[in-house]
Structure 1
Amino acid sequence: MEGLLATIYAAFARYLAWGLALCLALASSPPSEAATALANAKSTFIESLLARMTVEEKAGQLLMRFAEAEPPPQIVLDAVAAGNVGSVFAHPAATPAQLRTLQQHAVKHSRLGIPLFFAGDVVHGRRTIFPIGLGLASSWDLDAISVSARVAAREATGDGLDMTFAPMVDISRDPRWGRISEGFGEDTYLVSRIAATVVRGFQGELGARDSLMACVKHFAAYGAVEGGRDYNSTDVSPLRLYQDYLPPYLAAINAGAGAIMTALTSLNGVPATANGWLLRSVLRQQWQFSGLVISDHSAIEELIVHGVAQDGAQAAQRALVAGTDVSMNDRYYLQTLPGLIEQGQIEVELLDDAVRRVLAVKYDMGLFESPFRRLSGSHGAAFSNAGLALYRAEARHVARRTLVLLKNERATLPLKRQGTIALIGPLADNSRDILGSWPANGQPSQAVSLYQGLRTALGDHAQLLYALGANIHDNPPAFDLLADNQVVLDPRPPSALLAEALAIARQADVVIAALGEPRGMSHEGASKTTLDLPQQQRELLRALKMTGKPLVLVLMNGRPLSIVEESQWADAVLETWFSGSEGGNAIADVLLGDYNPSGKLPISFPRTVGQLPVHYNTLNTGRPFIKERPSKYKSRYFDLDPTPLYPFGYGLSYTTFSLSSLRLSTHQLPPGQSLQASITVKNQGSRSGETVVQLYLRDRVASVSRPIKELKGFRKVLLAPGESRRITFTVDQTALGFYNQDLQWITEPGEFDVMIGLDSQHLEHARFELLEASR
């Protein structure tokens, strides 16, 4: 015992002396020298520690172990004390006290006292749950998105986490994919802007107590899985990869993300976790990323099933050589790397490089200085979600900005606070599903359902009636296969539920139908072959329409749905996604006109699943379909309007906006210069409102075919009734560039279309010419 205490005191004295020396050096150095001193101190510390580690301890640093929601068993504590664990993937219900026990064993009982770092899935909130990714993206409001990330970071670090497996920046254009709910939509530019915003929001001042390191996922192109089927293969051309799928990851890295997670899928035939071209050539060499690469859950072991490794040793070898540093909940690094190095099959320098990056991340998190810095706050002693206050004002503010008004015939919305309102549907009084997928520590008991929100907002001014109307899904056996399948079904026959709903509807002046998906249907492993509403819900909405009462459809869902008929039946349609802890209050604010909706779609709504993929920024073809001039031999479906039901960037308001003609500062742009594109937006209605002015560009003739339009800027603007404002975008050379066939970023002279509008379909046009360098 005395020897152990002596070791601890010696380590403490060493860290104290190092910190004092560094402080003295920084105090007497100019800024540039101070930065160099910091980098040198970090490098010296890591190299000194690395030199004292055994091969087994190094391999242990590469293992991320899963922590269940119960006190750590002795076998896990022994593994930590032996130096066989470097980090912990913490279950949402793992308490700070449990994490503290693990950290104590790492720093007080292991030979070198190297602290653990703790990571978890904090995707759109920790305890205060904000809207899902598609919802956040619908705000087109980077400030609001930043607020959601900063709040999540404060709560997660207060619960002991050092890292989050977020943001998820996978571009996806196939709503059949369940994980589309986590991401930010179909557009490279919008997702890239949001990715950088979320990283900065999570991390804040790196190393501070409330700094939550971002681990960007899933590298790369996980959202392009074939058929929208989770874990399926991804096969895209290198040009499409560079042009569309890689930029959001790069944007997150340039914003300072400390880690990146590999995809579980293969990319062009090679699993991402063993893809040396992706992890070393692109990530390390081209992008100069120096942070940590973490495998997804069990991804190294799955290399055997992928068919690129014959056993655990070969799987570990392929992953480490390719550039995967940390093995998440996987046994083979720890079991096989020491032997592979001893046999000369892996150079020890490869292992050392990976361990350096693990130690560097822990250094940047401030864990060597203070291992318990995120485990010693107000939540460390006792852990009870019910007793912790939520950031309700922030959650309500952000949620309101994410709601998208898709239809509003005859000014059905906003509703008046009078008469009788019927609220019907399986998502009407549902405080569980409103939290959405990956709700972390969000508690249904703390979430506000739509019924609760409306009842509070209406008070005594109107009568609110409620009926379930239908069960949330029709296929219990299929639902049992989902990862998140905690749904309570009403045992009554559908006919009884429907009869009750119709009796309620006939008493009302207006009917609100809250329909959509249970959150488990928009989750990992929840791919679908249809985008229709469940049949019971469709029948309910059709029957409500037949009552002749004004009908408002409130959608709650994690993916675009095929709602051609439903949108015809309803007089108004409000897309709310899964809007989080304060969702019910936020939706009530919009339905009753206390907040004017301003959300815009970050993803296109298809008319049918057979139309997929449908997105606005397609390449032109030699025979493009022109809706105004239809003809036989064109790229289209003969049995369907090929346009989306609701296009990217679309969203209505309770007021109306108009746009002037588009003006350019010049129509001939010299190379290296920029121009200004200006337009006047006017609020022509009788109430204040916000809209998103969107800038699109098109390179008309290039060495490779370019999209018919690409988002290159946006501005959210608030206008009073009758107010006008001139909006100006700067178009520079960066906005005009693209990757050529050799994957080189270039800008070519020629004609460009400039388009500005309030969605991706209804646009004002102008044109300019980018001049050649010699002109």
Structure 2
Amino acid sequence: MSSIEEKVTELVDQLTTEEKISLMSTSQSEIKRLGIQEYHVGGEAAHGVVDRSGGKTTSFPQPLGLSQTWNPDLLKEAGTAIGEEARILYHQSGKSSWLTLWAPTIDMERDPRWGRNEEAYGEDPYLTGQLSVGLIKGMQGEKEEAIPLAAAPKHFFGNNNEIGRENTSNSIDPRNREEYYLKAFEPAFTKAKAQSMMTAYNGINGVPAMQTEEIEKTVRGKWEMDGFIVCDGGALSLNVDSYHYYDTYEEALADALKKGIDCFVDDKTLVETAARKALEKALISEDDLTRAIRNSLRVRARLGHFSSDFIYDDVDHTLLAGDKHAALAEKVTEEQIVLLKNDGLLPLSTDDKVLLTGPLADVFLRDWYGGYPPHEITIKKALESTIQADRFSFTPSHDKGYFETVEGDKLIVDQNELKISEHLDDYSTFEIEDCLFESYTFKETDSERYLQLNEESQTFQLNKKEIYDWFVKEKWIRTDDDKWLTWNEKPVGITSDKKVGSVLTSDPLLFVKEWDAIDQAVDKAKSADVCIAVIGNHPLINGSETEDRAGMTIPAQQLKMVQALYEVNPNVVVIIVGSYPFEMEWIKEHIPTILFTTHGSQELGNAIKNVLYHQSVPSGKLSQTWYQDVTKLPAITEYDVMKGK
């Protein structure tokens, strides 16, 4: 018996039943008499450690971008950096969390319409498996009995759609299961020895993922995983309240526990109450609890939780969001940039007179699993530092204007709320941003804050400068008759007190353009040697967690801008900053140079600059198919990848 097993056995043998129950959720209680400190399982590290409180951490490209490196060794370096930063945060938190993070995402991306497409490593199980091995080995180090961080591959398994994910089942036959979906997960455990795992929300062939027999049969049995397994957030509650697989929480917990779940990501009181009731009703035995707690404590022991002198505790705290990791992030970002097309326009010369435009040229957009980087090098910022001022120009790509009713009244932001102005010459101006599928956002030009539907008042008010919420309530949806809907498709109109908000019947609201972005760009393009248009998507709008994409087209305003530039100056470089493949037939046919990169990297601007000016080679390779017309794809819930003509 190893020293780790001896320590775990020593602890488990002394635990009371109630103490074991107190360790069943992600909020694990302190057991002072045994030297077990309070500890909180969980956290995110998809492309860098995520500190939701705003603490600075290094931000790498989104996982889709990591996959485009096709470089497991480089991902191992990134994983090592993530492990180092997690260990630093562990110490800063008083050793209360940060060492059991939920990454990487190994879901198979057979359909790019999936709302979380940017979170995983593409559509090929072999590539995904090899890349995840690299990342996990970096995160966990090379010593099996002493690890800096425990990786938790997710979401096991058959998880590639958001619609209905909490209460529906995906049909997966044995061949698809073994040759495709499980094949991607296997190396994470057989080669990288991942110490944890998270199951999915969805069901597989009628059984919720946290109760599938594959946890014990395959993960623990065939792959010999000896770490601890968690369900997805709130899955215990959803099993009863949404999926209706069981009628009570104790029944759901008992089945999941027996099927291999060791730790429940849910409300602590709910989990512990369910465990007590399951014991009282003899749905589980104390041996079931003991087995689960042993798995959790084994990993905690390997993390050094019960050691006074641990090898990974001596970590250089200047690494956290520091220069060394920034240099690595730039290297990773360069290697994931894909040169989709180049008809001789690249590399550029610093003597070229360059026009830069596009909605993604001077903005850093965080995805839901991205942290707060120490700096955000946009493409504009990087090019400004490279090109002489008289050789570089930039023009914004969003039109500006104001709202007007059909009666001619103008709208103004007064005391933070959008309402009818009392004076025709007193109104507020906004930038209108095209977000695809007739969805738009409006940012007030003076404050640079977005209009958002306030949940309490149901009126539009100025909110933050950044769109970053679980539900994007900044979104306006335009209908065919120039009327608008809120983010949740309620009519927009004028309230009884002359404010703008959610009403029973829509009132037409006209957006009157005062400044035409395309006209401005075209005027400058005529005298430029090269035009660079940076286009793409917002990672939280019209496709994110809980929302699959309706399509993959380029937003109409963005395509119109590219076409207008090309008409007056054919030397156009299109840089797509995106979370998924795009339909781009016109761009592919006409534009001489096209680059693709994902969101997420704090060093994106520097990496793009290096590629444009031949300081590095764009060696990235796609990890997903780019379809010409996604309407030809089967339903997003069709999980049989063997079908086809």
What range describes the TM-score normalised by the shorter chain of this pair? Answer: 0.7 to 0.9
Alpha carbons 1:117, 1:162 under 8 Å: kept: no
Match of 2:325 in 1: 391
| Residues 252, 494 of structure 1: alpha-carbon distance in 2 compared, 3 angstrom cutoff | farther
Alpha carbons 1:399, 1:579 under 8 Å: kept: no
| Aligned-residue identity in percent | 26
Partner deviation per Cα, 1:319-345 (whole Å, 9 max, x = no partner): 212211101133433112123213322
The 1-side partners of 2:471 and 2:347 are apart by 34
Match of 2:341 in 1: 407
The 2-side partners of 1:456 and 1:232 are apart by 51
Partner deviation per Cα, 1:348-377 (whole Å, 9 max, x = no partner): 111110011111111111111149998896
Partner deviation per Cα, 1:736-755 (whole Å, 9 max, x = no partner): xxxxxxxxxxxxxxxxxxxx
Please state how far the C-alpha of 1:258 moved relative to its aligned partner.
Answer: 0.2
Alpha carbons 1:484, 1:519 under 8 Å: kept: no
Matches within 5 A, 1:48-447: 48-65=10-27, 85-86=28-29, 106=30, 110-115=32-37, 116=39, 118-126=41-49, 127-160=57-90, 161-206=98-143, 211-223=148-160, 225=161, 233-254=169-190, 255-275=192-212, 277-304=213-240, 305-331=242-268, 332-370=270-308, 389=323, 391-409=325-343, 411-430=344-363, 432-433=364-365, 436-443=367-374, 446-447=375-376
**SS of the residue 2:245 aligns to:** coil
Alpha carbons 1:176, 1:228 under 8 Å: kept: no
| Residues 207, 244 of structure 1: alpha-carbon distance in 2 compared, 3 angstrom cutoff | closer
**SS of the residue 1:222 aligns to:** coil
Match of 1:599 in 2: 620
Matches within 5 A, 1:581-620: 581-612=602-633, 619=642
Match of 1:561 in 2: 582
Name the one with the larger helix percent.
1
Please state how far the C-alpha of 1:206 moved relative to its aligned partner.
Answer: 4.5
Name which of structure 1's ranges 591-600 and 400-409 shifts more when overlaid on structure 2.
591-600
Matches within 5 A, 1:676-695: none
Letter in 2 for 1:347: S
Letter in 2 for 1:439: G
**SS of the residue 2:103 aligns to:** coil
Please say if 1:483 is aligned against 2:470: yes
Letter in 2 for 1:414: P
Alpha carbons 1:436, 1:558 under 8 Å: kept: no
The 1-side partners of 2:194 and 2:233 are apart by 20
The 1-side partners of 2:612 and 2:209 are apart by 45
| Residues 610, 513 of structure 1: alpha-carbon distance in 2 compared, 3 angstrom cutoff | same
| Residues 342, 465 of structure 1: alpha-carbon distance in 2 compared, 3 angstrom cutoff | closer
Please state how far the C-alpha of 1:60 moved relative to its aligned partner.
Answer: 1.2
Please state how far the C-alpha of 1:465 moved relative to its aligned partner.
Answer: 2.8
Letter in 2 for 1:359: L
Matches within 5 A, 1:374-773: 389=323, 391-409=325-343, 411-430=344-363, 432-433=364-365, 436-443=367-374, 446-459=375-388, 462-469=391-398, 471=433, 473=435, 475-476=439-440, 483=470, 485=472, 493=513, 496-521=516-541, 523-578=544-599, 580-612=601-633, 619=642, 635=645
**SS of the residue 1:576 aligns to:** strand
Please state how far the C-alpha of 1:379 moved relative to its aligned partner.
Answer: 5.3
Name structure 1 gaps, 5 residues minimum. Answer: 1-35, 66-84, 87-105, 622-634, 636-775
Aligned length: 531
| Residues 518, 374 of structure 1: alpha-carbon distance in 2 compared, 3 angstrom cutoff | farther
| Higher RCO, Cα 8 Å, sep 6+ | 2
The 1-side partners of 2:164 and 2:390 are apart by 47
**SS of the residue 1:584 aligns to:** helix
**SS of the residue 2:42 aligns to:** strand
Letter in 1 for 2:137: R
Alpha carbons 2:83, 2:139 under 8 Å: kept: yes
Name structure 2 gaps, 5 residues minimum. Answer: 50-56, 91-97, 400-432, 443-451, 454-467, 477-510
The 2-side partners of 1:180 and 1:240 are apart by 20
**SS of the residue 1:556 aligns to:** strand
**SS of the residue 1:467 aligns to:** coil
The 2-side partners of 1:525 and 1:620 are apart by 27
**SS of the residue 2:598 aligns to:** coil
| Residues 291, 488 of structure 1: alpha-carbon distance in 2 compared, 3 angstrom cutoff | same
Match of 2:449 in 1: none
Alpha carbons 2:69, 2:336 under 8 Å: kept: yes
Match of 1:699 in 2: none
The 2-side partners of 1:373 and 1:578 are apart by 35
Alpha carbons 1:405, 1:574 under 8 Å: kept: yes
| Residues 586, 525 of structure 1: alpha-carbon distance in 2 compared, 3 angstrom cutoff | same
Please state how far the C-alpha of 1:606 moved relative to its aligned partner.
Answer: 0.5
The 1-side partners of 2:385 and 2:164 are apart by 40
The 2-side partners of 1:227 and 1:316 are apart by 25
Please state how far the C-alpha of 1:220 moved relative to its aligned partner.
Answer: 0.9
Letter in 1 for 2:591: A
The 2-side partners of 1:558 and 1:494 are apart by 32
Alpha carbons 1:420, 1:465 under 8 Å: kept: no
- Rg: which structure is higher? 1
Alpha carbons 1:420, 1:462 under 8 Å: kept: yes
Partner deviation per Cα, 1:381-401 (whole Å, 9 max, x = no partner): xx997xx54622211111111
Letter in 2 for 1:317: A
| Residues 201, 457 of structure 1: alpha-carbon distance in 2 compared, 3 angstrom cutoff | same
Alpha carbons 1:436, 1:580 under 8 Å: kept: no
The 1-side partners of 2:293 and 2:475 are apart by 47
Partner deviation per Cα, 1:210-244 (whole Å, 9 max, x = no partner): 71211111111212x38797875322112101001
